[in-house]
Amino acid sequence: MLDATLVFTVIAAILIIGFIGDLFFKKTGIPFFIFLIAMGIILGPILNVFPREPLLPALAIFAELTLLMVLFYGGLDTRFGAALRGGGRAFIQVSIYVLASTTIIGLLVNFLLGWDILQSFIFASMVGGETTAAVVIPLSRSLNFKEITVAFLTLETAMNTIFSIVLFFTFLGAYTTGVSNWLSAVATIAEDFGVGIAIGALLGSVWVYILHFLQKQKFTYVLTLGLIFITYAVSTRLGGNGELSVIIFGIILGNYYLLRRITRHRMSMDALQKQLGAFQEEISFLMETLFFVFLGLTFVIDPAVIISDLTTAVAVVAVLLGVRYVATSISTFKSEMRSERQGILLMCAQGLVPATLVIIALNLQLPLANDFLSIVTYVIILTNIVTAAGAILGRRRQRTSRTSAEWTI
């Protein structure tokens, strides 16, 4: 039985490290998730302070909750005009990046590792094109990308989340039932998009009007959290994607002035909007910090396959970068974002979605789940390193540009 004092001490240390790591992230662009995962590996498989097995059932729910909080915050912070301009291109980006990456990675691991074809594609759907909002959104803003580029990257994180999750459960269903229907997968994606957008927009609009009358009351943030969970649950029950509904809910709430213009109803919630954003940022940070340590706690160290797993992860990242280059070149063609194409290319950091899906695979006791976990963790670390390197290069170029401008003046 774990000592309560030890548990609280470790949690305190995690939160302090997370705070320091976030400051480090803002200064350098190096995602602090890398250090949190490493801390989890030290506390878990290396020192065995926290046993692995009791964490797995709770971690799947915690991962999904963390994902919802981050997506809502991303939607709340997205400006609708920029999102509308970049939405079509973001869909092109995601379609090419996720579908091509998933296909190539699935065939690659099937050939190199000799895995069953469906299990190969289950794994590929975990890592085939997700970009984590927790790193990409704040980093794109700190690098002073254009507003349309920030909106493009924000929408990409939401859309590739949906694609990845739908593909994962499609392949998982085919594996568990022995039935493979690819037309059904396409129909499922279309249904998820339609229902998800409709539920998120409807409940978001209703909640804006309710908040207008309740904004002077206490605990409006708690009520909003309740509506986020209801939105997710209703959308999922009606056959839509709960994650997309949550981000649409956030976009509607963050751009409430559009409803004011459409209905010509007088309302002002600027102060409440800022308050909700501040609370949500704190909650998202707390949950992300704990989650990535938990991911490290579930890691399995097997000296016999470390080199093999790491080599596979490097090959996966190489595929991701190659496909992302093609997708970014096409999606930014003749666009004002083209000048920031390299920055978009390197915003490939993965995080919550592959981590959540691999935990689900562990809970379902898939035969290759531990192999999935090892490689997925390496992919998360490597893609975050690539993004960090891109941020460092971007900041250097910005400083060089400022220095050149000063000399010119």
What was the pLDDT predicted at 409?
43
Residues 316-348: tens digit of each pLDDT = 999 999 999 999 999 988 888 888 888 889 888
The DSSP secondary structure of 269-334, one letter per residue, reads -HHHHHHHHHHHHHHHHHHHHHHHHHHHHT----TTTHHHHHHHHHHHHHHHHHHHHHHHHHHTTT
Query: Which of 116-120, 150-154, 290-294 is modeled with the greatest confidence?
Result: 116-120
Supply the mean pLDDT for the chain. 80
| pTM to 2 decimal places | 0.76
pLDDT of 261 higher than 70? no
Number of domains in the chain: 1
What are the pLDDT digits (tens) for 358-380? 888 887 888 888 889 889 988 98
CB 110 within 8 A of CB 102: no
- Which string of DSSP letters, residue by residue, matches 158-175? HHHHHHHHHHHHHHHHHH
The pLDDT tens digits of the residues spanning 172-216 come to 877 876 655 556 656 666 777 788 889 988 998 888 888 877 777
Render the burial of 398-409: b for 16+ CB within 10 Å, e for the rest: eeeeeeeeeeee
Whether 203 and 223 have beta carbons less than 8 Å apart is answered as no
CA distance 81 to 255: 9
At 264 the pLDDT is: 66
Range of the domain at 53: 4-408
User: In angstroms, how far is CA 244 from the centroid of its own chain?
Assistant: 12
Task: Name the more confident of 85 and 104.
Answer: 104
Closest listed residue to residue 135, CA positions, set 331, 353, 295: 353
- Among 38-52, 101-115, 142-156, 219-233, top mean pLDDT goes to 101-115
pLDDT at 40: 83
Question: Sign (positive/negative) of CA torsion 239, 244, 246, 252?
Answer: negative
**pLDDT in the model for residue 97:** 94
CATH number of the domain encompassing residue 16: 1.20.1530.20
List of residues 6+ apart from 84 with CB closer than 8 A: none
